[in-house]
Amino acid sequence: MRTQVCIIGAGPAGLLLGARLAKAGVDAVILERMSGDYVLGRIRAGVLEQTTTDLLRELGVHARLDKEGIPHQGFSLSFNNRLLRIDMHKLTAGQQVTVYGQTEVTRDLMQHRSAQGLLTVYEASEVALHALDSKAPYVTYKQDGRAQRLDADFICGCDGYHGVSRKSIPRDQIREYEKIYPFGWLGVLADVPPVAHELIYANHARGFALCSQRSHTRSRYYLQCGLDDKVENWPDEMFWQELKKRLPEDVAAQLVTGASIEKSIAPLRSFVSEPMRYGRLFLAGDAAHIVPPTGAKGLNLAASDVRYLSDALIAYYQGRHQEIEHYAERCLARVWRAVRFSWWFTNLMHQFPDADAISHPLQLAELDYLANSEAAQRVLAENYVGLPFDFGGNG
């Protein structure tokens, strides 16, 4: 089989890329290791930047987003038993974010792809990348136990942190930066109304907590937990009790609890691999970088990679061959900004087990500064809604 672009991975990055290329008339085939149902079973963050919703809208994948997505113009930080509201809308000249689960974005993109008759090979096993530094790269894989080969002009690695694409780059051609945080996030999904209209990020001496939501009747809550903690150690009742302790009393009093429908623990990591390219292989999304979830930048960053990458590939097929040469550099400038923000927000809001006595008072001093400085709030707000694409170079 032959195609113009072979995309590895049918997560949000791969599906978005496939949709953007198809719209411009560029052929692409997606190879995905798991089944479609498995991919849709993963619960991830749920806050979309305006640039991400714009991208979905341009593709015409916005019917359900418009109906079910909830626009948010602010969020709150909780500390010292109080709430500080960050008015994103006012501080960023009218920008907002949309609460809409990543799982739903993936579902919408999958449906869009199949409605257009575009090929996704699910349950493709033993995917291997070949001849990446030549003009004729190809991919081999197994489908229903039978060996297959897909030839392409370009290969796009959208196969997440554990995928095969980044690992196919020779070690001396890549540089990786990584920070693993000494705690995890215990997440609970429950069909109870959210405790507040907007998200609450809580700094508390017992550990970080986050009140998020998926709809007016479905809530998503998180607690900072130990790296070795297990879901079994956290029966629902214990989760709710601990969450209440980490929120201001008046907020905790409003909390509606109920049976969890999903409970999982995720580690936190900052990771960047440079450059996001090797020969005819380009990386996008979690394959190239990971951010801790504080600030919900993961999916949004994948979407912005896809915007840069699809524009460069489309330019290539329109005869402008140079643009693809600048993909990695342009993309990485924005990636590092989001990595920095997620790292900063994580440091501000969590309790580090090995921290010295001065750390928590310093966090509270920074939060107090935020409460009293519009300039500081604007820095937070403009990063949270998503930095512009034309922010300028980093040199």
Draw the binding track, 34-53, toward ligand APR (x: CB under 6 A; -: no contact): x----x----xx--------
Tokens 């690992």 sit at which residue? 167
**Residue of the chain from 8, 31, 45, 312 that contacts ligand PHB (CB under 6 A):** 45
Q: Is 72 in the site for ligand PHB (CB under 6 A)?
A: no
Residue 295: both structure tokens together: 């600030």
Which amino acid would we find at residue 182? P
- Strand 154-157 and strand 281-283: pairing? parallel
Helices marked H in 92-185: 102-115
The interface region with ligand PHB, picked from 58-66, 288-296, 311-319, 374-382 by CB under 6 A, is 288-296
Count residues near ligand PHB (CB under 6 A): 10
Within residues 88-117, the interface with ligand APR by CB under 6 A covers: 102
DSSP secondary structure string for all residues of 35-89 = -HHHHHT-----EE-HHHHHHHHHTT--HHHHHH-EEES-EEEEETTEEEEE-HH
Which is nearer to ligand PHB, 165 or 294 (by Cβ)?
294
194 preceded by cis ω (within 30°)? no
Which is nearer to ligand APR, 6 or 381 (by Cβ)?
6
d(CA 24, CA 29): 15
- Strand 138-143 and strand 125-130: pairing? antiparallel
Helix (H) or strand (E) holding 201: strand 200-202
The one of ligand APR, ligand PHB, none whose footprint includes residue 34, by CB under 5 to 8 A per kind, is ligand APR
Which residues are known to be catalytic?
72, 201, 293, 297, 384
Q: Is 293 in the site for ligand PHB (CB under 6 A)?
A: yes
- Asked whether 46 and 296 are in contact (CB, 8 A), the reply is yes
Q: What is the closest distance, in whole angstroms, from the C-beta atom of residue 46 to ligand PHB in the complex? A: 4
**Residue of the chain from 14, 46, 207, 295 that contacts ligand APR (CB under 6 A):** 14
Tokens 């995917």 sit at which residue? 127
The interface region with ligand APR, picked from 7-15, 62-70, 175-183, 317-325 by CB under 6 A, is 7-15
Q: Is 60 exposed, middle or buried (0-12, 13-18, 19+ CB in 10 A)?
A: exposed
**Residue of the chain from 18, 194, 298, 386 that contacts ligand APR (CB under 6 A):** 298
Q: Is 224 in the site for ligand PHB (CB under 6 A)?
A: no
Q: Is 33 in the site for ligand APR (CB under 6 A)?
A: yes
Tokens 């214990």 sit at which residue? 238
Residue 361: both structure tokens together: 């008072």
Residues near ligand APR (CB under 6 A) are 8-14, 31-34, 39, 44-45, 102, 124, 127, 158-160, 162-164, 285-287, 298-299, 302
Residues near ligand PHB (CB under 6 A) are 45-47, 199, 212, 220, 293-296
